[in-house]
Structure 1
Amino acid sequence: MKRILLRNLFFCFLGGVFLSSCISKKQIAYFQKAQGEHDTISVAQAYVPKIQAGDILSITVSSLNSMASSFFNPFSNTTSDNATNSTLNGIPAVSNATGFLVDTAGMVELPLVGAIKIAGLTTSSARDVIKARLNVYLKEPTVNVRFLNYKISVMGEVAHPSVYVIPNERITLPEALSMAGDLTIYAMRNNVMIIRDVNGKKEFGHVNLTGRDLYDSPYYYLHANDVVYVEPNRAKRQQIEPVFKILPVVLSAVSVLMIVIYYSRR
């Protein structure tokens, strides 16, 4: 009777270990519909980045006189050459493109025009300010302003953790994770962390990818220099914790011992 009880307890223990390592569908499926939730939901307001000190900008100028315009484009060749190196295995990565640096005072220095304060402006507003200054030198100038260092970092349990340059100056969290090759099976999908610079301080936000609240979250649209960290789940932690490394050996030894005891008493 004791042997039967001991054997049942052993198999119950094995069953408990097996079940504890299983992952349910609710833990891995994205954007699950909550009870009473509609299939059409609100989306967070789109993020429009503003120029800050330390940004590197591509500023290209054109006009009716192409030769005169070329004087204001000292980085045109360098930028185009380096832009071709901004991928890593087909994935957008950190670019070493050269452009106009916004100094600590929020100013950018243009040839002949001199210093122009553009910190705090969007790229479209900066374009208008620069264009107004160029009207003195060029006839019907056209200005294009873009960020060259608009980047985000994706790290943790994703297929391709890296720093990614965003050419269109707008990216959502699902897009960033897709760019990084999606989350691995060991990712904790209900507690993805976003680290953001806000007024000189670090802000730590958390989102749940298994629900639809993400779309109305302030972290749906990522900001420049955001860091996305995907935490490993319990199954991954069990793989690296010493107790779970030796557990199969212990269980095997116990099984052999129980078999020996069982047959020795027959």
Structure 2
Amino acid sequence: MLCLFVTSCVPHRDLVNYQAGIPEAAVQPIGKRPEIIVQPNDVLRIDVFGPTDRIVAPFVNQSSKGTTVFDVDAIQLGGYLVSERGTIAFPQVGEIAVGGQSVLEVRNVLAGLLEPFMKTPVVNVRLLNFRVTVSGEVGQEGALNVLNERITVPEAIARAGGLGEYANRRNILLVRESGGTREYVRLDLTSADVFTSEYFYLRQNDLLYVEPLRAKSGAIRDQTSKTVPIITALATILAVIINLTQNR
């Protein structure tokens, strides 16, 4: 029983986040949030505003009408899909290169291209497919849609149901694809350094994998081993009953 207790319990230090590096009564400046960089297969929503509806009408994506902010799939269908070459086809303007640019840069480029058609155009650009995936030792694995283009590592884990009982807080794997490359980063949630990390803010299509502790495999094996004493006890009781019956 002592061995079972030792192998199945998780130490308290393995269950606490941000154990080291938290300053006492100190204020730290918040780092600048990284800009969203447009990549191939992204979906952009582009809204154009001008002097009159008649002037703006040729630049409105008709398929985006009638959708609501809660219908994510419908909104994405009404957006502009970035091609593998990093371009979009915009009405009246033609093919525009947007890949590798920030959302703000795309907005400025479009505003400049629309100036021949209207005076002081106002362009709003949003990324519609900002999605991160959380898997592993969390409450609920899955992909998370982010409408405000801003989500942090702790927030993503919280939206996935939080860390599980056997989550390894010292070894969170972040997989990020950008510019045709794939990056692997290990994050330690027991350290406050995660707040100042350049990976604190997630980007579109990031994957977070929460690794389980080794204690989990021991606990799973214990579930099968627990049946052995029960079967042994039942067999002993049955043997005693049979022995008593035969002696009568």
TM-score when scaled to structure 2? Answer: 0.83
Q: Which residue of 2 aligns with 1:138?
A: 118
Measured after TM superposition, the shift of residue 162 of structure 1 is: 1.4
Measured after TM superposition, the shift of residue 132 of structure 1 is: 0.8
Q: Which residue of 1 aligns with 2:172?
A: 192
- Which of 211, 214, 219 is the matching residue for 2:194? 214
Distance 1:151 1:64, change over 3 A: same
Measured after TM superposition, the shift of residue 240 of structure 1 is: 3.6
Q: Which residue of 1 aligns with 2:205?
A: 225
- Which of 23, 27, 34 is the matching residue for 1:38? 23
Counterpart Cα distance in 1 of 2:202 and 2:177: 11
Residues 1:67 and 2:54 aligned together: yes
Q: How does 1:91-102 map to 2 (within 5 A)?
A: 96-102=76-82
Which ranges in structure 2 are unaligned for 5 or more consecutive residues?
238-248
One-letter amino acid of the structure 1 residue matched with residue 205 of structure 2: N
- Which of 226, 237, 242 is the matching residue for 1:248? 226
Q: Tell me how many residue pairs correspond in the alignment.
A: 235
Residues 1:170 and 2:150 aligned together: yes
Counterpart Cα distance in 1 of 2:134 and 2:182: 16
Measured after TM superposition, the shift of residue 218 of structure 1 is: 3.0
Measured after TM superposition, the shift of residue 252 of structure 1 is: 4.4
Measured after TM superposition, the shift of residue 94 of structure 1 is: 10
Q: Deviations over 1:74-130 (max 9, x none)?
A: 24644x5264233xxxxxx99744211122222221111112222221111111110
Which ranges in structure 1 are unaligned for 5 or more consecutive residues?
1-13, 87-92, 260-266
Q: Which residue of 1 aligns with 2:132?
A: 152
Distance 1:219 1:136, change over 3 A: same
Whether the 8 Å CA contact 1:97–1:148 is kept in 2: the answer is: no
One-letter amino acid of the structure 1 residue matched with residue 67 of structure 2: D
Whether the 8 Å CA contact 1:150–1:165 is kept in 2: the answer is: yes
Whether the 8 Å CA contact 1:95–1:165 is kept in 2: the answer is: no
Q: Which residue of 1 aligns with 2:160?
A: 180
Whether the 8 Å CA contact 2:67–2:74 is kept in 1: the answer is: no
Q: How does 1:66-145 map to 2 (within 5 A)?
A: 66-75=53-62, 77-78=64-65, 81=67, 83-86=69-72, 96-145=76-125
Whether the 8 Å CA contact 1:170–1:221 is kept in 2: the answer is: yes
Q: Deviations over 1:1-48 (max 9, x none)?
A: xxxxxxxxxxxxx112202211222111111135xx623457655321
Matched residue SS, 1:204 = strand
Whether the 8 Å CA contact 2:130–2:147 is kept in 1: the answer is: yes
Whether the 8 Å CA contact 2:81–2:88 is kept in 1: the answer is: yes
Counterpart Cα distance in 2 of 1:152 and 1:19: 37
TM-score when scaled to structure 1? Answer: 0.78
